Structure 1
Amino acid sequence: MASSVRAGPRLRRAVASGELARLPAGLRAELEAALGSDGALVPFSLLRRLHGALREAGSPLYLHELLEGSEIALPENPELVARLERIKARLANEEYRRMTRNVTGQELNRYGTLADFGRQVRSVKAVVITIFNFIVTVVAAFACTYLGSQYIFAEMAARILSAVIVASVVGLAELYVMVRTLEGDLGKL
């Protein structure tokens, strides 16, 4: 715990110039002795007495003005220094945790996480497979009807017309099934 102050230039100047002449001689001598020593450490007890003497004398000087530029002298205590360092480190860690509380390591970029990207790829893959399946089914229905109708119709126009009608019916049936499936998937969302 601090018990003294390292005197600043304002307090030294006040003692050297005689601004404190109204103070009791014993107090002035004690103050001069404290300022004359190495490091110029002034104990708090002496500062309390100086404050009381300034008030009694009705001096225009105030203690806070005299202590301007002074520093509190902390004793060198390795245990205290280590404890302060631990407290500083703990506070820094708490502040870091508070700042990074809502940050996740899964960020891919500003568009979303890696899991979102995987879901989007699976969704696109499902759509591509569905479209490919639709096209293959309609083309297969057209080809089967065109080749099978050669036994019924002799003319090319009738064969093509019947193949287009069957492919259209199969395509509409496929679309109906896809819409019902999408309705079910969208209903789950």
Structure 2
Amino acid sequence: MAAALRAGPRLRRALESGELAELPAALRAELEQALASEEAVLSFSLLRRLHAALREAESPLYLYQLLEGCDVYLPPLPVPPRNPELVARLERIRARLANEEYRRMTRNVTGQETRGTLSEIGRQVRSMKAVFITVFNFIVTVATAFACTLLGSRYIFTEPAAHVLAAVIVASVVGLAELYMMVRALEGELGKL
């Protein structure tokens, strides 16, 4: 919290030019001593006494005129010493993180991680194999439905166009049913993830 002001050029000029000659000598000496210091810091108590002295002397100068160009002085906060336990713990955490980063960067340098890569390839091959089997099963089911309907419709219809139309309709229905079942199975597999 602020408890002092850093003196500005107007207050210095007033003290040097003799505008504050009517002030008591002790107060003037205290002001000169405060302005002679490196930081030129004036405490609020000194400013209160200066204000009272200016009022008693009925000076034409007001305190706000003298304080023109002054800054609030905030003393530097003392930095507490760091806890040695905290510093040691932070060093351990930094070392662990650096070690993990090093392991992550160098995991493919040695042959130890090739099993992970081969298992990844094996998993992808199995996944592709399942897709090919599903597509092959879909094609075979639709083609079989088409062929069975085409041959079976000869006993019902006499026109060849009716045979083909019936076969296409039945193959379409079977294909849609098969697609529906595949979507449900895929949805179930994604739900397990």
Using the size of structure 2 for normalisation, the TM-score is: 0.46
